[in-house]
């Protein structure tokens, strides 16, 4: 399932481009990474070379062209409305963020976008991909958009986080999304992610995985098989549970079957 923020968004991953790109424009943004090779990019009257580890940003309807030489790149074409919404959540007013630099050499931005692209192409959970998208675009807008920057105050809403945690617990075996959690807390996805991370130190996806591992551990200690426990806790399959458990605890969940070493307290002693 594709994250809802990316509905109808085009992605392209090209490993070896050689040739000229004629003058053209898009109604969307163009945001992409150069991994290797060279792209001589021209936007309006400004020309710049895109080398490895650089980011390329083209605003909607900006005419651009260029020449590629063994160019390896990944692009996506987010709708203007997505960045308008992002700007509104960051600064409290709806404006189209515009970027004067069309080639940016910024290692942190490159890493954020590369992590997001990998998430999409690896078909990670939609919540995980959306979180990585929001992190990348938030940094891009805050750092490079030429706009009025009156920041919206942080919303440290403990009630919203408590509501989200309760909803997660009640629906742990279901497929959860950022849409679900933001609806339950009456916050935008952007504000919800910030408030949740501030309170827990985790993304919602990380928190859900940890809760599912904990639930599956209790179920296993209570007598369920590993396969039963993983399904009841909300994992898509047993292997996902095993990998997540090992990362969290440092040993395989099959060790839980050794009743000499593990006790579910106090239920183990309940009458």
Q: Tens of pLDDT along 69-111?
A: 999 999 999 999 999 999 999 998 899 999 999 999 999 999 9
Q: Tokens in use for 163?
A: 């509501």
Count of Cβ atoms closer than 10 Å to residue 99 Cβ = 22
Phi-psi label, residue 203: left if phi above 0, alpha if psi -120 to 50, beta otherwise: beta
Phi, psi at 25, each rounded to 5°: -145, 165
Nearest to 95 by CA among 81, 109, 105, 108: 81
Which residue in the block uniquely carries the two structure tokens 């060279």?
38
pLDDT of residue 27: 85
pLDDT of residue 81: 94
Q: Are strands 54-58 and 46-50 parallel, antiparallel or unpaired?
A: unpaired
Look up the CATH superfamily of 4-144.
Regulatory protein AraC (2.60.120.280)
CATH architecture classification, 206-269: Orthogonal Bundle (1.10)
**pLDDT < 70 positions in the chain:** 1-3, 147-156, 259-271
Q: How far apart are the first and last CA of the chain?
A: 45
Phi, psi at 213, each rounded to 5°: -60, -45
pLDDT of residue 263: 53
Domain residue ranges in the chain: 4-144, 158-201, 206-269
pLDDT of residue 2: 52
Q: Per-residue pLDDT tens for 39-66?
A: 999 987 789 999 999 999 999 988 889 9
């Amino acid at each position: 399932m594709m994250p809802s923020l990316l509905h109808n968004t085009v992605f392209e991953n090209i490993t070896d481009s050689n040739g000229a790109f004629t003058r053209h424009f898009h109604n969307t943004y163009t945001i992409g990474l150069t991994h290797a090779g060279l792209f001589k990019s021209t936007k309006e009257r400004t020309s710049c070379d895109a080398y490895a580890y650089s980011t390329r940003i083209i605003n909607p309807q900006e005419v651009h062209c260029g020449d590629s030489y063994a160019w390896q790149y990944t692009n996506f074409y987010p709708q203007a409305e997505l960045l308008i919404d992002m700007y509104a959540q960051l600064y409290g007013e709806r404006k189209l963020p515009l970027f004067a630099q069309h080639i940016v050499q910024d290692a942190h931005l490159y890493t954020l976008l590369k992590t997001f692209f990998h998430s999409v192409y690896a078909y990670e959970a939609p919540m995980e991909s959306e979180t990585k998208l929001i992190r990348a675009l938030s940094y891009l807008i805050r750092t490079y958009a030429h706009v009025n920057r009156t920041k919206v105050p942080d919303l440290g809403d403990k009630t919203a986080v408590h509501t989200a945690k309760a909803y997660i617990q009640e629906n742990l075996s279901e497929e959860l999304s950022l849409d679900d959690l933001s609806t339950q807390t009456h916050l935008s996805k952007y504000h919800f992610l910030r408030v949740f991370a501030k309170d827990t130190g985790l993304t919602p996806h990380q928190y859900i995985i940890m809760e599912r591992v904990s639930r599956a551990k209790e179920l296993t200690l209570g007598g369920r098989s590993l396969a039963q426990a993983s399904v009841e806790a909300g994992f898509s399959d047993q292997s996902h549970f095993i990998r997540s458990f090992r990362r969290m605890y440092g040993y395989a969940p099959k060790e839980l079957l050794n009743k000499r070493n593990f006790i579910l307290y106090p239920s183990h002693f309940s009458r």
